[in-house]
Structure 1
Amino acid sequence: MDVMERIQQAVNSQPIVVFLKGTPQLPSCGYSARTAQVLQACEVDFGHVNVLADPEIFENLPRFANWPTFPQVYVNGELIGGHDITLEMFQKGELKPLLQEAVKKAS
């Protein structure tokens, strides 16, 4: 399976997936840490991919959805954005309902 197929498979594996540097429990950069904290504050389960553990994903993920930075948050297979957008949606009260609905649809 090529790397783009592996990325697509990861995106489709759960209703909410975040590609980040490190893990939600042990992030390797501030943006990944804050994004994981925001997702955890929404009290929903989410999947994650540690891009530092897979150099092919690290190199190719920016091409996948034409988004150059990490982290990247996907909901129902769609990129919603990175750290800034996720944080803004959280602060506006838009993120938690979106994530809860995604989880609800999947069950």
Structure 2
Amino acid sequence: MSDDIHTFIDDKVKSHDIALFMKGTPDFPQCGFSGQTVQILNYLGVPFEGINVLASDELRQGIKDYTNWPTIPQLYVKGEFVGGADIIREMFQSGELQTHLTDKGIEVKQSA
């Protein structure tokens, strides 16, 4: 991974309370897993930054290298990698995601 892409990713992760590296955009997800994660975040009413990994091959591979996690989407909360779509869905259904966000000082509008 180039230093430039690592710096770009690091900046996004650290400068947003919630950063979602996804395929597509929050308004137009390009895969079902990304779309599902966006739906969960929107349902919870939390602001987040969506970063489209389809914008560049370097970014798409770079985010995988950054966390050593093979799949996209990837969700970060307050600079910490939380997980991919399956983990986020399970956390949401159990209420653990809402608790995690609240514990990090992020107001959740709704719960499951």
Calculate the TM-score normalised by the size of structure 1. Answer: 0.90
The answer as to whether partners of 1:42 and 1:95 remain within 8 angstroms in 2 is no
Q: Once the two structures are aligned, what percentage of the paired residues are identical?
A: 44
1:52 counterpart = 2:59? no
Once residues 86 and 71 of structure 1 are traced to their aligned partners in structure 2, the CA distance between those partners, rounded to angstroms, is: 10
In the TM superposition, structure 1's runs of 4+ consecutive aligned residues that sit over 4 Å from their partners are none
Counterpart position of 1:18: 20
Helix, strand or coil for the counterpart of 2:82? strand
Across the aligned residues of Structure 1 and Structure 2, the Cα RMSD in angstroms comes to 1.6
CA distance, structure 2, for counterparts of residue 61 and residue 52 of structure 1: 11
Q: CA deviation at 1:101?
A: 3.9
Residues 23 and 49 in structure 1, CA contact (< 8 A), matched pair in contact too: yes
List alignment gaps of at least 5 residues for structure 2. 108-112
Consecutive unaligned residues in structure 1, runs of 5 or more: none
SS at match of 1:44: coil
Question: Once the 2 structures are TM-superposed, how far is the Cα of residue 4 of structure 1 from its aligned partner?
Answer: 0.6
Number of residues of Structure 1 aligned to a counterpart in Structure 2: 105
Shift of 1:42: 1.1
1:26-81 deviation per Cα after TM superposition (whole angstroms, max 9, x unaligned): 00000000011011111111111000112211121111011010000001111110
1:51 and 1:102 mapped to 2: Cα distance?
25
2:35 corresponds to: 33
